[in-house]
Amino acid sequence: MKTIGNIIWLVFGGIFIAIEYVIASFLLMITIVGIPFGIQTLKLAMVALWPFDKKINYMGYAPGCLSTLLNIIWLLCGGIWIALTHLVFGILLAITIIGIPFASQHFKLMSLALAPFGKEIR
């Protein structure tokens, strides 16, 4: 069931979301300061490409205050807009019964887009 969901996700927009994240990641990695943010955007692209198998967990250790600072900068510089986009798509998909599994994936991506630092993907 996960494979079928991932294929449907990929065909109906997942590939475009992942491409947007990869382009944003490369643009962020042009500068030295943007490299940590580009790595987190690649993390978002990885989940956006094949979301039904992925689980997002907090790291087993305390990531520290640097992670919190980077999450605040991330949130102010674009994370809120990415999260709002996933929220809108999630609500639109949740209206239909067929779209509920895809809406839950958008909500999972939204939580990762709000604070990607200090989380790991399995």
Contact between 66 and 16 (Cβ < 8 Å): no
Residue in this structure with the two tokens 């939204």, named with its chain if needed? 110
Q: Which one-letter amino acid corresponds to residue 81?
A: W
Mean pLDDT of the chain: 86
* Total count of residues recorded for the chain: 122
**What are the pLDDT digits (tens) for 45-87?**
888 888 988 888 877 666 678 888 888 888 888 888 888 988 9
The residue among 61 and 116 whose pLDDT is bigger is 116
